[in-house]
Amino acid sequence: MRCETQLTVAAVGGNAGAGGCFLARAADFVWARDGVMLNPHYKNMGNLYGSEFWTYLLPPRVGDDGAKAIMRHRLPMTAPEAVKLGFYDACLPGPGFAVDVARRAAELAAAPDFPEKLAAKQAKRHADEAAKPLAAYRAEELAEMRRNFYGFDPSYHVARYHFVSRSAHSWTPRHLARHRDLDWKVPT
């Protein structure tokens, strides 16, 4: 995010969740392999808030409402869906993914408008920093995370225990089992 001397690219070749999705999004361009599944939310880990600058990185890409929907609904998304939403920049075919990434990166570096793209990146980062410094985003996210770790809700600690011990889920999470919310009537 702070690199001002070059354009950066993240190539997501495997599934990613939460911080992994936002680590990639910190790059200027994110290219994902078709078939990759993304879970860019933290809530399944005991209502965890998340602290990888997602509040800075996500809304400009998908809008405020889109960011709230992604983080609230906790649904996985495919690479094409991420591109459609504007979260990632391109979905590349699985076969030859690494070769395609290298070719695209070389084209980006050799593009005649490279200096203009770099200048635009620098100007945007400076404007963003003047409006609200990255340190403020970090402080706000970490304040929310402190509540997760030290607040009265133990759900993070329970979820962490089950994650670390690899406990099997005993039921399908409610946000994935939407059929449970339907008003089913038994035919008579």
Higher pLDDT among residues 167 and 2, named by residue? 2
* Ranges of each domain in the chain: 9-177
187 confidence band (pLDDT: 50, 70, 90)? low
46 confidence band (pLDDT: 50, 70, 90)? confident
**67-76, 155-164, 169-178: range with lowest mean pLDDT:** 169-178
Higher pLDDT among residues 169 and 166, named by residue? 166
Angle between helices 97-110 and 114-131 (to 10 degrees): 90
Which listed CATH number (3.40.1440.60, 3.90.226.10, 3.40.50.300, 3.20.20.140) goes with 9-177?
3.90.226.10
CA dist., res. 125 & res. 16, Å (int): 26
* Rounded average pLDDT over 32-37: 96
| pTM, two decimal places | 0.81
Percent of the chain with pLDDT over 70: 89
User: 108-166, pLDDT tens digit by residue?
Assistant: 999 999 999 999 999 999 999 999 999 999 999 999 989 888 988 888 788 778 778 87
pLDDT at 90 > cutoff 90: yes
